[in-house]
Structure 1
Amino acid sequence: MTGFALHLLRHGAPETPGLLMGRTDDAPTPEGIAASVAQAQNLGIERLIASDLRRSRAAGEAIGAAIGVPLIIDPRWRELDFGDWDGQAASTIDRDALGRFWSDPDANPPPGGERWSVFARRVSAAIADLVPVPTLIVTHGGAMRAALHALCGFDQRQLWAFDLPYAALLSLCVWPGEPPSAQIAGLYP
């Protein structure tokens, strides 16, 4: 079976960086959009998908206009919902509670937030529905980590080792199947 190129692009910088933004729908900066468009040039994609949140959707719209590929919106590519912590700076959250979350986000979800396992299933379902053609998904850091978990089998501790700054591009070669698998082809900050 032949693999296909899957590119995961973290949205560019939002207007208010440094917050735990899951469902918080902060707008991207013009510079953040430009950085996203620059990363998407010359990928040879046939499909373009974005999360429905503004910071990803706006970048997806700009990329689609620049390369002539229509944008598909898929809310399954949203960031993890941080519940009561959503929209707050990490420094304002109880350090012990935040530490427990980072150590085991499934056993210690944010108050009122999404469990890691639910989040990972959501992203896995979106992956399972991909058409096997060269695809770019404009999404969020957490969704990129959930995709690495689903496709490459990385555990939660390994996932935090990936530095995914704003406008980071993660390129994979995906082999469809049950379950699908992938090889990392590149990470471009």
Structure 2
Amino acid sequence: MSGAFLLHLLRHGAPELTGRMLGRTDSPVTAEGMAACVARVKPLNFKKIVCSDLMRSQAVADAIGRERGLTPTTDARWRELDFGDWDGLAAADIDAAALQRFWDDPDGAPPPGGERWSDLVARITDAIEDLTPETSLIVTHGGAMRAALKSLCGFGLRELWAFDLPYAALISLRIWPDRTAQIVGLQTDPVS
């Protein structure tokens, strides 16, 4: 179909602070995490880089941009889900029953003071609607990538959690003018 374009969604590299509910809580990316992201996108061709406004995405986008001669655009809509009162905590520090209710129904049982799943999907959908029809790389977060798949492919929660999205994971999609999509690539293997 004419008017289709490629969209590459890259999860930022491993942050220095791991094992936490990192939504708005930020952490620098490790050198290894940065290198994994830069290596992951080497074979790709894209004309534009967009990233969330969190340093773990911005640093990766800046490093990739320097290699490509591209200046990344920052868009806060590509942020991770806001975990509210849980943001920055380890799962072990959160009431287990409340955390399970969230995993089972992230819209009906959001973190206290946090964002509902449907709100994340809505802001990611808005960001997708504003994309220009050119091949782009979005450096973002695991939750935002899953929200994009919900928006573009219609996946339910069960399907969205049926695959792993480790740090430096890459999903490539063909986007049609009506903002539906087809997954054309998924890379989750370790990058060396």
TM-score, with structure 1 as normaliser: 0.97
Q: How does 1:1-189 map to 2 (within 5 A)?
A: 1-177=2-178, 180-189=179-188
Cα shift at 1:186: 1.1
Would you say the 8 A contact 1:83–1:113 is kept in 2?
A: yes
Whichever residue aligns with residue 17 of structure 1, its letter is T
Deviations 1:118-176 (A, max 9, x none): 11100000000000111000000000000000000001121111200000011111112
Deviations 1:77-129 (A, max 9, x none): 00000001100111211111111111110000000000111111000000000
Would you say the 8 A contact 2:23–2:83 is kept in 1?
A: yes
Would you say the 8 A contact 1:6–1:171 is kept in 2?
A: yes
Would you say the 8 A contact 1:49–1:136 is kept in 2?
A: yes
Would you say the 8 A contact 1:77–1:140 is kept in 2?
A: yes
In 1, distance between residues paired with 2:163 and 2:81?
17
Q: What is the SS of the residue equivalent to 2:144?
A: helix
In 2, distance between residues paired with 1:187 and 1:30?
23
Q: Percent identity?
A: 60
Would you say the 8 A contact 2:7–2:136 is kept in 1?
A: yes
Please identify runs of 4+ aligned residues in structure 1 that moved more than 2 A.
Answer: none
What RMSD over aligned residues (CA atoms) do the two structures have, in Å?
0.8
Provide structure 2 residue ranges, at least 5 long, that are not aligned to the other structure.
none
Q: What is the SS of the residue equivalent to 2:139?
A: strand
Cα shift at 1:67: 1.4
Whichever residue aligns with residue 127 of structure 1, its letter is I
Would you say the 8 A contact 1:41–1:67 is kept in 2?
A: no
In 2, distance between residues paired with 1:176 and 1:140?
24
